[in-house]
Amino acid sequence: MQTLPLVLSTCLILSLILSNILTFALQQQYLDERILKQLTIQEQIHSKSIEIFLESKEPKVNKPAENTSKSKKKKGFHSRRIEQYFHINSKLLIKELFEKKSDDLKQLALNYLTRLYPPSQGFDAVALLDEILEKGFHLLEDTPTLTSFDLYDLKNPSFQLKKAIEGTKGYVYKKSAGYPSLVDVIEIFPKNGRDPVCASYANIALLEALFGEEGAMLIMQEESSRFDAEQGIKQVYLNKNEMIELFQKERLPVSTALLNLLGDKRIQKDRSSKKQIVILDPSQNLEARGWLHKYPLKGMTPSKKTAS
């Protein structure tokens, strides 16, 4: 009876010793493999160093010019009509709708908004434009001394208007992905007068609303054919007369009333009047951010304090 515990204890001790031996052997094997890998890496580094050294000692041979000189890759034409929606001259100016009746401009605005804010995105372009005009008129009536106002100044905007002002990330017009911020596509009261559509800056959606898809495509194709990668994009974009000549050449009928909305005058940003605006509406879970530029109404010259 006394020999059984002795045998069991001896077996336990032997098993522990064997386990330690196996563990040590595995550790040793792992260390050996690490050492071999390290030696291999060092050998490769050494060989590469010798190779680089020998190459540096070889006499240099002048290679033919065509092999050494890399030809410049010509960049494709990237139109600002697609990329620069944020530019102030690329926007539709609806100033005349607050100063006089203009059915042609109102119809153009509706066509434009319908393209950018379609029913599939949950918008009603007619209601959107009516709200902008109605609230804009009320603002002018309530504050006769007002020298400038913009979309952010409209009182009690609806959910639709706030949604349009906010816009979406990853907006792509041609893919109908999302929609832009309304402040990037509509301008109300710019500093200097210009026609509702600036010919050389109008964005692609505005061109399509004005001339239809065929007319807009003709303009884009003509400007693309003018592009020269070596000369840059100077004098690429068509002005009003060039657009008219293009339409006449291609025999594309364009309404004279629509052409009267087109002009070449551009306006400059007043950097001193730039300020950041943030609209928060926790109840609707909306947040709109942007840089705002204040511009005076027609016939009014703001003081330096007003412009800053």
DSSP string, 78-106: --HHHH-TTSGGGSEE-THHHHS--HHHH
Question: What pLDDT digit, counting tens, does each position of 214-263 carry?
Answer: 999 999 989 888 876 556 556 789 999 999 999 999 999 988 888 999 99
Question: What pLDDT digit, counting tens, does each position of 112-170 carry?
Answer: 999 999 998 899 999 999 999 999 888 888 887 776 778 888 889 999 999 999 888 87
What span, in angstroms and rounded, lies between the C-alpha atoms of 262 and 200?
Answer: 10
Q: What is the pLDDT of residue 301?
A: 36
What span, in angstroms and rounded, lies between the C-alpha atoms of 128 and 113?
Answer: 8
Helix 204-226 with 240-249: angle, nearest 10 deg: 80
The separation between CA 171 and the C-alpha centre of its own chain, rounded to angstroms, equals 7
Q: Which two tokens stand for residue 229?
A: 């990668």
Question: What pLDDT digit, counting tens, does each position of 12-68 carry?
Answer: 777 777 777 766 666 666 666 666 666 666 666 656 555 655 555 455 555 555 544
- Between 187-191, 283-287, 299-303, the lowest mean confidence (pLDDT) is in 299-303
| Sequence-distant (≥ 6) Cβ neighbours of residue 293 within 8 angstroms | 88, 150, 269, 270, 273, 274
**CA-to-CA separations, 130 to 72, 152, 205, 258, in angstroms, rounded:** 52, 16, 20, 21
- Its sign, for the CA torsion 196, 200, 203, 206, is positive
**Terminal CA-to-CA distance of the chain, rounded, Å?**
105
| Sequence-distant (≥ 6) Cβ neighbours of residue 112 within 8 angstroms | 92, 185, 205, 206, 209
What are phi and psi for residue 139, nearest 5 degrees?
-65, -40
What span, in angstroms and rounded, lies between the C-alpha atoms of 132 and 134?
Answer: 6
The one-letter amino acid at 227: F
Q: What is the pLDDT of residue 236?
A: 85
Supply the pTM of this predicted model. Answer: 0.63
The one-letter amino acid at 185: V
Q: Which two tokens stand for residue 201?
A: 């800056």
